[in-house]
């Protein structure tokens, strides 16, 4: 199976925060943000694997700044690590200043997706070839994060 670089499957998704996405104070709902993060991450995982994917795990998610109705948010999703059938995706969320185009990081999350075959069973995916220093660092750390996740999962069962 031919491998790919993280940039080959990277996804950029832009959303305009509308009143229906917000609470009574006009701040973006956390659940709506989580939905967008999941979708952006899933699209990157689908692009890498060319398969249907399911979310196996979402690591903790910090909300650093309130996001207001009328603001533009940009999500950047990039694969950081792959196993045999699972993929770790890092999703960064930025608020975009409409006047200057400046991006401010507001959220970062790591999600794990598993590729499934036609019968809904985990199926092998192509290897990932990190290129930049950051991608190489992410890949090494991804292995550690995965071990920590699986240890947590075992402890919960």
Ligand X SMILES: CC(C)(COP(=O)(O)OP(=O)(O)OC[C@H]1O[C@@H](n2cnc3c(N)ncnc32)[C@H](O)[C@@H]1OP(=O)(O)O)[C@@H](O)C(=O)NCCC(=O)NCCS
Q: Which CB atom, from 15 or from 38, has the smaller least distance to ligand X?
A: 38
Contact indicator for 143, 86 with CB cutoff of 8 Å: no
Q: Which is nearer to ligand X, 107 or 112 (CB)?
A: 112
First to last CA, the chain: 34
* Residue 150 CB, nearest approach to ligand X (Å): 6
Inter-CA distances, 54 with 37, 114, 117, 122, Å? 13, 5, 11, 10
Shortest distance (Å) from residue 104 CB to ligand X: 29
- Which residues of the shown chain bind ligand X in the complex (CB under 6 A)? 54-57, 83-86, 112, 114, 122, 149-150, 153
Least CB distance to ligand X at residue 143 (A): 11
Nearer Cβ to ligand X, position 12 or 117? Answer: 117
Residue nearest to ligand X (CB): 83
Q: How far is CA 151 from CA 80, 86, 144, in A?
A: 20, 16, 11
Which tokens go with 157?
A: 């069962």
């Amino acid at each position: 199976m031919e491998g790919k670089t993280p940039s080959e499957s990277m996804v950029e998704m832009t959303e305009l925060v509308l009143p229906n996405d917000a609470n009574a104070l006009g701040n973006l709902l956390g659940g709506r943000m989580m939905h967008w993060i999941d979708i952006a991450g899933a699209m990157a995982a689908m692009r890498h694997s060319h398969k249907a994917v399911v979310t196996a795990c979402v690591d903790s998610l910090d909300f650093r700044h309130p996001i207001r109705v009328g603001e533009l948010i940009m999500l950047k999703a990039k694969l950081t690590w792959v196993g045999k059938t699972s993929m770790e995706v890092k999703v960064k969320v930025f608020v975009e200043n409409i006047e200057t185009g400046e991006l401010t990081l507001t959220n970062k999350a790591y999600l794990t997706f598993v590729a499934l075959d036609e019968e809904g069973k985990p199926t092998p995916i192509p290897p990932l070839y990190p290129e930049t220093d950051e991608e190489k660092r992410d890949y090494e750390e991804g292995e550690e994060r995965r071990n920590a996740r699986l240890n947590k999962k075992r402890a919960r069962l």
